[in-house]
Amino acid sequence: MRARDAGDASQGEPLLDQIDMPIRRVTADGACDGEPTYVDVARHSADAAVVLPPRANAVERQHDDPTNQRNQHIATINADGRMKWQVATGYGKRSFVETAIGRYKSIIGRRLRTRAFATFSVFDGLRLWCAGR
């Protein structure tokens, strides 16, 4: 769970700290776009691909390494357009996951059914995980 006032990008490091093995790819929405997310992922798994759509007004940072993933995404979008970038990076697969979570939320509802940790069930854990998505 995260506080309602916490931004998505600030949650990268705490989420990645829960994963004990290297990851190959991180895909998230544009709310996570920015250097902190790329740094957090690189700190956890140096070779991980980070697929985040840059904001519409994003510009390449001239001082960064040309292999910087964010700069590469911006350059590709500027050259080929956002839709071709989505196909090339597989970003569209993210929407299938969001749709599945949305369906699950519609079945189980948006609120927890328990208030005490002792009565917290696996079902509530799944509901909590989905509610954070």
Do 4 and 25 lie in one domain? The reply is yes
Amino acid 6: pLDDT: 55
Query: Alpha carbon of 48 to those of 1, 7, 94, 102: distances in Å?
Result: 24, 22, 17, 27
| Residue among 84, 83, 85 at smallest CA distance from 70 | 85
CA distance 118 to 108: 20
pLDDT for 115: 58
3-state SS track over 38-62: HHHHHHHCCCCEEECCCCCCCCCCC
Q: What tokens does 86 get?
A: 């989505």
Residues 76, 97 within the same domain: no
Q: Can you give the pLDDT at residue 129? A: 62
Residues 128 and 109 in one domain: yes
Rounded Cα–Cα distance for residues 49 and 72 (Å): 12
E strand or H helix at 26: strand 25-27
* pLDDT by position in tens, the chain (length 133): 444 555 556 677 888 888 899 999 988 888 888 888 888 999 999 999 999 999 889 888 887 675 689 999 999 999 999 999 999 999 988 888 888 878 877 777 666 555 565 555 665 566 666 666 5
Quick one: 104 and 87 in the same domain? no
**63 and 98 fall within a common domain:** no
Output the pLDDT for position 96: 83
* CB of 106 closer than 8 Å to CB of 74: no
Domain span including residue 19: 1-91
Residues 78, 115, single domain; the answer is no
Q: Give the count of domains, the chain.
A: 2
User: Are both 14 and 69 inside the same structural domain?
Assistant: yes
Does 102 lie in the same domain as 86?
Answer: no
